[in-house]
Amino acid sequence: MIRLSNVARNYGVHEVLRGVDWTIPPGSRVGLVGPNGAGKTTLLRLIAGLETPDSGRVDIVRGTSLGYLPQEGARLPEGSLLEAMLEPFREVYALERELEQLHHEMATANGERLETLTRHSGEVQHRFEAAGGFDLEIRAKIILGGLGFAPADHARPLREFSGGFRMRAALGSLLLRRPAYLLLDEPTNHLDLDAVVWLEAFLGDAPSSLVIVSHDRTFLNRLATSIAEVEGGKVRVWAGNYDYFRRQKEEARETARKKAAQEAHRVEEIERFIERFRYKATKARQVQSRIKMLERMERTELMAEDFSWNFSFPPVTRSAQRVAWLQDLRKSYGPQRVLRGATLEIDREDRVALVGPNGCGKSTLLQILAGRVKADGGTVELGEKVVLHYFAQHVLETLTPGRTVLEEMQAWAPALGTQKLRSLLGIFQFSGEDVFKRVEVLSGGEKNRLALARLTLDPGNFLLLDEPTNHLDLPTREALEEALAGYGGTLLFVSHDRYFINKVATRVVAFAQGLLSSYRGGYDDFLAAARGAGEPRRAASESKAAREGSRVPPKNAPGPIPAPAVPSGPLQARAQTPRGTSGPGLHASREQKRMQAETRNRRNRGLRIFRERIVAIEAKIVPHESRLKEIEAALAASDTYKEPGLARALGEEKKSLEIDLAHLYDEWDEATSDLQREESGSA
């Protein structure tokens, strides 16, 4: 059990967390979400004990083991990959060495000495076995395989691996340790799609409780059973996965909005009453009671709207029907052959997602198309009037260090005035002084936003995007999805974000052994089709026939493009009904909602009678009151008394009006009390 009580944390004047109360019971699978800079990482670091709160407490039940994976720069011991993985199990390996030593001695000992050694070895072996020593290495190898390491990598020194692969190793080491709580900060950042899918399955079966910070919505949907939202320095926990949380939050916001509106209406009524009777002695008590009522009334706070923004691409010129035609492309980097005869045709308005493991040649294909890398063989043809623009995976490569954000934009579109460029940058969240930041000091997300802003100046009619969602927070990903939906050109992109692929792609092209297989639809359709037709990668490498079948023919040609996938199988079912939103549950809530709506309507019909009665009484009161005011004014005027009998007649009319009004007020009072009673009774 982990409990945070009234935790606050500031960085200088910046208040990140204030009064956080959050309990994470054992067995939880929590997705920690919130905008960039909301304090998600701070929370994980506080729990992991890497930071201390400025006030409040972080209590963890004694003996609870924690495993924390930072976003970047996880430290691993030196040595080979496998050694680094097994390093936390030093004690277990000490037992193994002791056991070996004992076995050696047992080979030559005899008599009492042998008996002692044998007994002792039994004890040591028992402890070694209890600590899982026998299958530790096997488990380590399985985890490394799942995370995309080849068996040949196990003995390679860790320092030879790139930063991304070192992070994978750090994740593997954590998974091997099986701590009671796994605190993972963006675990999917360094993984390709296959590894993400593997990790999902692994964590799904893992005995540890999970706290995951991730911008991968599919990952959160499949793993999280509750969502902890960090907003305004506080944590609020919602049941269900990410999609369910979004729906619930929208409903809660709507409910709060309606409740606040009702309260405002009620306040207005009470204030009107107070205003009307403030100076009337007979109503003084009622007025006082209503003033108190106003003071005591609880006001519902409106929930802040989620931060969201949007942008759009300008209209593009129409290109030829056939946008690009790649034939028999071949490319090798030293001994490694990444493309071995890739063939692909892209038509106008196609939205093609390239998927495949890291290093399979997705980026190379985009770079060849963009003319940045030369193919070893094969042809690339672009259609008539095709204007191609390329968005690189490592955005910094395309930005010029030393330039400011504004200068970068000016260099791209010198004809546009500063004012126009600044308003465009404003849309991309670069406001005020932000435009004078140098590009090298921008965060990963900011660099990507700048590159996107630059792209909207002139996107061309054929966009090549290499991992455009990297480092983007959820609102920006959603803004990009929306913008691409409205983009009129052709799109070829590489992404590891399944949610993004599902939203944007109309075709998925999978890499396998340097060859391409094409599937219509989004990622889920691709998965279903790949499962139906057998693993495409294996199919491509196993036989020549399969290899030929896996090449992508022209889109209009009859043959091997698999038919649109019919969702089937457990994986598909899981993809469609994420945890916490199962079919029957949805039906139940729909039925429930219908019943609630009926009850609400019935109640409103009943209340309407009371409200109409009040309106009718008010309609009578108003002319009475205005006539009374007129009479009072007339009685105050000296002319009235010049005409004999007028003052008396007015006096009598006033008296009768006052009597009527008193009755009407009583009636109104009664009617409003009835309404209130009815409202509170039926609520």
Residue with Cβ nearer other proteins (6 or 101): 101
Q: How far is the CB of 99 from other proteins (least distance, A)?
A: 6
Q: How far is the CB of 134 from other proteins (least distance, A)?
A: 3
Residue with Cβ nearer other proteins (189 or 577): 577
Residue with Cβ nearer other proteins (110 or 638): 110
Structure tokens at 595: 């019943």
Q: Find out whether 140 and 169 touch, Cβ atoms under 8 Å.
A: no
Rg (CA), the chain: 35
CA contacts within 13 A on the Cβ side of 445: 16
Q: Which residue has the tokens 């920006």?
A: 476
Q: By CB under 8 A, how many residues form the interface with other proteins?
A: 27
Residue 213, judged by CB atoms within 10 A of its CB (0-12, 13-18, 19+), counts as buried
Interface mask (CB under 8 A) for other proteins, residues 119-158, using x and -?
x-xxx-xxx-xxx-xxx-xx--------------------
Q: Find out whether 92 and 136 touch, Cβ atoms under 8 Å.
A: yes
Say if strands 14-24 and 388-391 run parallel, antiparallel, or are unpaired.
Answer: unpaired
Residue with Cβ nearer other proteins (127 or 627): 127
Return d(Cα 362, Cα 393) in angstroms, integer: 11
The DSSP string of 103-172 is HHHHHH--HHHHHHHHHHHHHHHHHHHHTTGGGHHHHHHHHHHHTT--GGGTTSBGGGS-HHHHHHHHHH
Residue with Cβ nearer other proteins (125 or 490): 125
Residue with Cβ nearer other proteins (99 or 353): 99
Residue with Cβ nearer other proteins (139 or 249): 139
Should residue 568 be labelled a site residue for other proteins when binding is judged by CB under 8 A?
no
Q: How far is the CB of 237 from other proteins (least distance, A)?
A: 28
Residue with Cβ nearer other proteins (121 or 517): 121
Q: How far is the CB of 65 from other proteins (least distance, A)?
A: 10
Structure tokens at 486: 């409205």
Q: How far is the CB of 154 from other proteins (least distance, A)?
A: 14
Q: What is the 3-state secondary structure (H, E, C) of 194-262?
A: HHHHHHHHHHHHCCCEEEEECCCHHHHHHHCCEEEEEECCEEEEEECCHHHHHHHHHHHHHHHHHHHHH
Interface residues for other proteins in 170-209 (CB under 8 A)?
none
Q: How far is the CB of 579 from other proteins (least distance, A)?
A: 16
Interface residues for other proteins in 63-122 (CB under 8 A)?
96, 99-100, 102-104, 106-108, 114, 117-119, 121-122
Say if strands 226-231 and 490-494 run parallel, antiparallel, or are unpaired.
Answer: unpaired
Residue with Cβ nearer other proteins (129 or 630): 129
Structure tokens at 411: 């260099």
Interacting residue ranges for other proteins, rule: CB under 8 A: 96, 99-100, 102-104, 106-108, 114, 117-119, 121-123, 125-127, 129-131, 133-135, 137-138
